[in-house]
Chain A
Amino acid sequence: MDAYDYLFKFILIGDSAVGKSCILTSLIENKFKKGSSHTIGVEFGSKIINVSGKRVKLQIWDTAGQERYRSVTRSYYRGAAGALIVYDITNRDTYHHLINWLADARTLARADISIIAVGNKSDLKDKRAVTFLEASRCAQENEILFLETSALTGEGVEEVFVKVAKMILNKIEDGMQHIEEGLGYHGLFSGLIDPATMMSGVHAGARSLLNEASPAEPASRCISC
């Protein structure tokens, strides 16, 4: 049941009260968590999703949004293969800060991290303060993915994770191609992911065909970030 092809580590970042923890709960429990307290430091969640016929296990670090917690949360960037930068579509400030969060991710995470901007609370149509179009343009200019979600209704939530996972899978497959062409992983430019290195935030599971090089590990084995 728990077998997977890949293990990807994700990080959820963004201003406080934009709904990061609610997105995580929505993904994992398929429900909206009402009356939950704000995150202190970092919380953790996990789910296996299907992406392009592969079983991908996500380990997600959900961070506290307040500035003061940066000293704790920044240590989680390095081990992440994917980052979700969440803002609240009803609050322009949280959208303006997207660029700061992106800068953080670009500085602290690996160069090949896959990033998506997530406009949450899409159910609050009457209170919308950030249009889909402007956010989409901003994401394009910054070369990151973009989607809107509603943690309340669940709309778009799984898609966000699938989208980032797909991007990472593509990078891995590009890397595989290079290997087949005899170039190897290590001579590659950044942007390609080596599932055999622990540091990439990507880890091959027991089901993986890529696993020939390393001895079979139990599927549930985890690595630190």
Chain B
Amino acid sequence: MWSDPSAGRSASLAAPPSSSAQAASGPTPGTSDPGPSSSSSSGPPKKPLVKLQRFGACFAKEAVDLNELRELLWSGVPDEADPSVRAKAWQLMLGYLPVHVERQVTGLSKKRREYRELVKDYFERSPEMRSDNENQILRQIRVDIPRTNPGFKFFGDAVMHGIMERTLFIWALRNPASGYVQGINDLITPFLVVFLASYLNKRDEDLHELEISEVPSEVLEHIEADAYWCLSKMLADIQDHYTFGQPGIQRMVLRLKEIVKRIDEALYDHLTNNGLEFLQFSFRWMNCFLMREFPMRCVIRLWDTYIAEQASGFSNFHVYVCAVFLVYWAPQLKMMDFQQMMLFMQKFPTEQWRPQQIETLLAEAYVLKSLFHSSPKHLS
């Protein structure tokens, strides 16, 4: 049965979730083959190495087996991995990089060429030809880009602003049902960080002081195109998050409410008795996939799993992660009134969180999801 993730933990705000044995091994993705993988058979010290070898073997095949990759990526790319591993795994799972190794080079250069055409068609047209609506979109993007601040110096650089402006503007014009919505600027940043890390062969945590001028322009062009296509793939599954009325988000907030009511009714009652509405605190969680709640290193780890889940990661599994995250803070929240809760939930003490803590959330969310999916009546 579902166990309270906060059970047995210190009530101290500073205390991060303990890294449980469950988190260390991680569940296997339950899409097609829920059976346990061999990854749990080796001892803990050797584990990352074994996993690295498995990634290597997976990529070395003539055609990458996406089921195998899904299973590997679900439990995260190990810290020890070459930075290109994550970039490659994301691009493959998102359907951007062809699975057939021989087609990868030509496939990528074709997409990058295509992107250059899009820039010409949509962005480099003379400004007089832009409609009022297009100007309004561009204005909003230009206002938001300098305010995109995921903790890396290079996001303040004009060159990076140019990259974001073009990708976001082109995406908005090609997806008129939603257009550009504030927060999508946040969503492109993990792609930019992961792809930059891959090209520069640096860990993403070593990119904090990176000067964009040190990066060859050819590399930047590739990263821009790759980030554009991967963002497009990711958003394709969650478009109704950003269309009129944002029905996708409303639906997820409602579902979160139902799940929390089911797994921690005392917390649910406490929230509602204090007049707190789920939309008031969880809208942002859905709109930006907890990017505002976690440091980038944690967001990237979260996305390993979401991307591995393919279409349902961002649109479905995320709700379970949110539910576990909320219930994790239940001991603190239950001591607070409306105002204290609102303020607390606007700035969770998560700045020091490490990917290992995200893995605990993911493991518990996985258990929760399995529980609900095996007996959907829980939600009726």
Contact = CB atoms under 8 A, between A and B. Distances in A.
Contacts of B178: 68
A25 B275 CA distance: 24
A199 interface: no
Given A17-B143, A68-B246, A223-B275, A42 B339 contact: no
Interface of B: 140, 143-144, 147-149, 178-179, 181-183, 186, 242, 244-246, 274-277, 279-280, 283-284, 287-288, 292, 337-339, 342-343, 346
A35 B149 CA distance: 7
Given A72-B246, A221-B337, A224-B277, A37 B140 contact: no
A222 B274 CA distance: 7
A38 B337 contact: no
A161 to B, nearest CB: 17
A72 B279 CA distance: 8
Contact of B292 (A40, A64, A68, A220): A40
Contacts of A223: 275, 338
Given A42-B283, A68-B244, A71-B244, 5 more contacts: A38-B182, A64-B182, A69-B246, A222-B338, A224-B338
Given A16-B182, A222-B339, A224-B276, A36 B346 contact: no
A36 B147 contact: yes
26 contacts: A16-B140, A16-B182, A17-B144, A37-B147, A37-B186, A38-B144, A40-B283, A40-B284, A40-B287, A40-B292, A41-B283, A44-B280, A44-B339, A45-B343, A46-B339, A64-B182, A66-B140, A66-B182, A68-B242, A71-B246, A220-B339, A221-B337, A222-B337, A223-B338, A224-B277, A225-B275
Nearest to A28: B343
Given A44-B342, A46-B343, A68-B181, A38 B246 contact: no
Interface in A1-58: 16-17, 35-38, 40-46
The residue among B148, B242, B280 with the most chain A CB atoms within 10 A of its own CB is B280
Given A16-B140, A17-B143, A41-B283, A71 B182 contact: no
Contacts of A221: 337
Interface of A: 16-17, 35-38, 40-46, 59, 64, 66, 68-69, 71-72, 75, 220-225
B351 to A, nearest CB: 14
A75 B245 CA distance: 12
B339 A16 contact: no
A37 B292 contact: yes
Contacts of B337: 220-222
Contact of A44 (B186, B275, B346): B346
A92 to B, nearest CB: 13
B280 A69 contact: no
The residue among A38, A69, A221 with the most chain B CB atoms within 10 A of its own CB is A38
A40 B147 CA distance: 12
Contact of B280 (A42, A45, A71): A42
Contacts of B183: 40
Contacts of A40: 182-183, 283-284, 287-288, 292
A41 B245 CA distance: 12
B181 A66 contact: yes
Contacts of A66: 140, 181-182
